[in-house]
Amino acid sequence: LTEFAETIAKGPESFRRESPVQELCAVIDIIDASPKTVIAAINGAALGGGLELALACHYRVAQRSATVGFPEVQLGILPGCEGTQRIVRVAPLELVLPMLLSGVPVQVGRAIAGSIVDAIVKEDVIEEAARLALMRPPSRISQRLVPRASRFKALGGALELALNQAVNSFKGTIAPYAIINCLRAACEGMSFRD
């Protein structure tokens, strides 16, 4: 959060000139493009930028006690490193919307059911990640389409309904609107980079 405090202290014009998460976004793009399989080993809470970093990896393994989430909306901001674009390409909209619009973390059991996490590890999360990296080729979320069921739900009004509920919870902030606009762009078929 210190990077946001520094940017805010510089004034509103600083947001137009520089992103407080620009370096993290660059790292995420490098991980995503890796020709070698990259596995995220989650042994605790992967929240905000931590989950965005994990979603840049080709696969994710987690200990049973792990949680994942995007708490940014509670701060009045949205995930700044492609999180809205990655999560909707792996998880169903009915899991994505509450994660992004409530900011409440999800237990790993729900995360694996929603395809956010690929495996729950009983033993050493690092060893399992290394084993998996040797067995699977890269699978980039950035190259996936939003699942058809999520696209149909978005067309059917799921985004507007979720936005109405979120606006009541976070009065006076624009974050829910921005998050829905990002999800809408993905669900309407815009490419990952657009």
Which residues are identified as catalytic? 52, 72
Beta strands 106-107 and 59-63: pairing type? unpaired
Distance CA 69, CA 106 (A): 6
Furthest C-alpha separation in the chain: 48
d(CA 129, CA 165): 38
Phi, psi of 19 (to 5 degrees): -95, 135
Q: Rounded CA gap, 191 and 87, in Å?
A: 14
Torsion sign across C-alpha atoms 85, 87, 93, 97: negative
- Rounded CA-CA distance 3/50 in Å is 15
DSSP 178: H
97 and 137 Cβ atoms separated by less than 8 Å: no
The span from the CA of 31 to the CA of 121, in Å, is 22
